[in-house]
A = this chain, B = another copy of it.
Amino acid sequence: MNNFDFYNPTKILFGKGKIENITDEIPEGAKVLMTYGGGSIKQNGIYEQVKDALEDFKVVEFGGIPPNPEYEVLLDALDVIKEEDIDFMLAVGGGSVIDGTKFLSAAALYEGDNPWELLTEHNRVEEGLPFGTVLTLPATGSEMNSGAVVSRKETKEKLAMGGPGLFPKFSALDPTVIRTVPERQLANGITDAFTHVLEQYMTYPAGGHLQDRFAESIMQTLIEVAPKVMEDQSDYEIASNFMWSCTMALNGLIQKGVPTDWAVHAMGHELTALYGIDHARTLAIIAPRHYEENFGSKKEKLAQYGERVWNITEGDMDSKATKAIQKTESFFHSLNIDTKLSDYTDNYEETAEIIASRFKERGWLGLGEHENIDPDKVEEIVKKAY
């Protein structure tokens, strides 16, 4: 097991009716910026629940944060924070709204002239404007971690930031919100959370026996609930296990003490930046090909995953590992998630080359747990995903 530090101070308020409890978590007298996305919260009743809970606070609203939170839009919100002297933010939405709010949290206290540097300079954010979240779409785990990803249309970039100053003070997780999530987003959420676990698990055996089992537990639970939640979004028991699994998939716990990969995300982000493909779907496009291309160094964990998560008992290690990749891809297909780039765009022939050259430009020379996936290897993986 590797050495690690673990710290996660986000308070979770989990369950039916928990949104009203956020009242007690926001500092008295705070002027609150409520951030949200395209307005679905006004159709499903969440907007009213939040406004009721904020009754005793001064509230300024900023809606319209798009999926893959867009830098230009966030700059408008930043102006509002400064003009209105906001002291607390409440993100009401999924990962995009929460990530966008994290960027605002950092940018509000940033002393430089160009907040885009928060994305490009890779400095840990030690302090941010405090914020909480009301999660409306389980998927990214952003509600209980300190990372964020922001996109910029102008430059077709999608970059990450983070630091201990960006943990939400609290997150309200009410599984009944799942009732009104569109099916497409539900499938995305399952795929996203599942791939988060894979990124922190599918490397090489490193003696993290408990971490491995926790990761397997989350994947087993996601596999168990996936068809059920797609079938009946109002099944509370299933919804609550889905929601808690998504949070636990990326709150820092399972990655501690073990190597992590994250190459799938690095490549997937480029597909979103280039073609606007849903984040989760880019992961489903890349992951199986990435595991095939790096079979040699990942087969021990692939086989362990095959045995423990997919109950593959027959065959030698190579055969179990191969079947495990097939099972993973079939799982994505069972959610109506296509796994070839050509399923999403006709304009794919240069993609591998473009992404490889972007990585070269940025100087990201070695992705993955061994930091040995260079731009040439990236090109091969992406090409296989056509």
Partner of A241, one of B209, B225, B256: B209
Is A2 an interface position by the 8 A CB rule? yes
> Taking the complex as formed, is A1 at the interface, i.e. its CB lies under 8 A from any CB of chain B?
yes
Q: Does A340 contact B (CB under 8 A)?
A: no
State whether the Cβ of A27 lies closer than 8 Å to any Cβ in chain B.
no
Q: Across the interface, which residues of B come within 8 angstroms of A224, CB to CB? A: 209
How far apart are A112's CB and chain B's nearest CB, in angstroms? Answer: 26
A207 sits at the interface (CB 8 A): yes
Give chain A interface residues in 213-272, CB to chain B under 8 Å: 213-214, 216-218, 220-221, 224-225, 236-237, 240-241, 244-245, 248, 256-257
Q: Chain B residues with Cβ under 8 A from A240's Cβ?
A: 1, 207, 257
Is A152 at the interface (CB under 8 A from chain B)?
A: no
Q: Which residues of B contact A214 (CB under 8 A)?
A: 214, 217
Given contacts A6-B12, A11-B6, A11-B7, contact A210 B1 (CB under 8 A): no
Min Cβ gap A206→B in Å is: 9
Given A9-B9, A213-B221, A214-B214, answer yes or no on A241-B207 (Cβ-Cβ < 8 Å).
Answer: yes
Which residues in window 1-39 of A have CB below 8 A to B? 1-18
Q: Is B209 a contact partner of A221 (Cβ separation < 8 A)? A: yes
- Residues of chain B within 8 A (CB-CB) of A244 are 1, 210-211, 257
Add 9 more A-B contacts to A209-B221, A210-B248 (CB < 8 A).
Answer: A1-B15, A1-B240, A6-B11, A12-B256, A14-B257, A210-B218, A210-B241, A210-B244, A210-B245
Q: Mind listing 14 A-B residue pairs with CB under 8 Å?
A: A1-B175, A1-B236, A1-B244, A3-B14, A3-B16, A4-B12, A6-B11, A7-B10, A8-B8, A8-B9, A207-B237, A207-B240, A209-B225, A210-B221
